[in-house]
Amino acid sequence: MDTIFSGIQPSGDLTLGNYLGALKNFIPFQDTAECYYCIVNQHAITVPQDPQQLHERTRNLAALYIAAGLDPKKATIFVQSEVPEHAQLGWMIICTAYVGEMERMTQYKSKARKEEAKEGFIPLGLLTYPPLMAADILLYQSDLVPVGEDQRQHMEITRDLAERFNRKYGEVFTLPEMWAPKGGARVMSLQDPTSKMSKSDDNDMATIHMLDEPDVIVKKIKRAVTDSLGHVHYDKENQPGISNLMSIHAAVSGKSFDEIEAMYEGQGYGVFKKDVADLVVGEMSPILARYKELMGTPELDAILDEGREKAHEKAHKTYDAAIHAMGLYR
């Protein structure tokens, strides 16, 4: 049986893009694999965070994991900072990494520029982010890691670091493979469909959040930027707005672009937008209802307590093997 690990940062309100591009893809694995799904809150602090907000977002994200369909009886759901082996192994992996390879990471370069412009300094945590991510994955002897295409470089460095450790200290870590869905949904901004939908977009009409009420979702899709061509056709170059809405439709309905084009032949954008809104509301409403239910009961803490124990049990075995391989024992 394969072991799966993946995690999401609690750094903002999750969007429809996070759900269709990541969270929804986690769910099928729980029936066929040993799954560990983590709220990676220690990654969030690589840039400044408001402590109370980080605490609240961590709980919110845990509730969304479960509300979206992750079953704590089938998958281990836990908070990264509650399993100390993540930070402990992270330091060991940092000590096998090279400054040059960390500085070459594309996400480091873009985030460093952004933080320096915003804060006047570059947090060191941004540089050492990849070894901590590697530790997260390697602790569970993961075979597959479902992540977005933007994480490919991080997955490559994870394998490099694991191979380097294994060569130097003996075979401790499984070399993980990245799993990306075929034709996976990359949801774009509703107001600028050439840019990815973002948690932090200043224009709230550009982003559908997982916790948006149904009427808000309908309003945002109704106002989504399209074009003047007037026919539903997948063409990212000339019709990026309609293509984005088609991607959302396909991800929720399971229909191909050809099928969607045939369904709306001769119909205007108004009918199409209404159907996309109905599909999204139908998908998100049960998640919102279950989320509200979880946030008002002790059930969430019970699930996370159990997840912490199960994750710790697995993580400690790998950590113990790693410290013995490296000589970090008396």
Q: Which residues form the catalytic set?
A: 111, 196, 199
Amino acid, single-letter form, for residue 184: G
Give SS3 for 61: helix
Whole-Å CA distances, 202 to 56, 189, 199, 266: 21, 11, 9, 35
Whole-Å CA distances, 167 to 89, 151, 170, 199: 17, 24, 6, 40
Beta strands per DSSP E along 71-129: 75-79
Burial of 113 (0-12, 13-18, 19+ CB in 10 A): exposed
Structure tokens at 200: 């932090």
Q: What angle do CA 176, 182, 185 make, to 5 degrees?
A: 110
Structure tokens at 142: 């993961």
In angstroms, rounded to a whole number, what is the distance separating the alpha carbons of residues 162 and 96? 9
Residue 165 DSSP one-character state: H
CB atoms inside a 10 Å sphere around CB 91: 13
Closest CA to 214 of 165, 282, 115, 263: 282
Contact 194, 240 (CB under 8 A): yes
Give SS3 for 59: helix
As beta bridge partners, residue 39 has 8, 79
Residue carrying structure tokens 């599909």: 279
In angstroms, rounded to a whole number, what is the distance separating the alpha carbons of residues 318 and 80? 16
Residue 209 DSSP one-character state: B
Contact 173, 160 (CB under 8 A): no
Structure tokens at 262: 């045939």
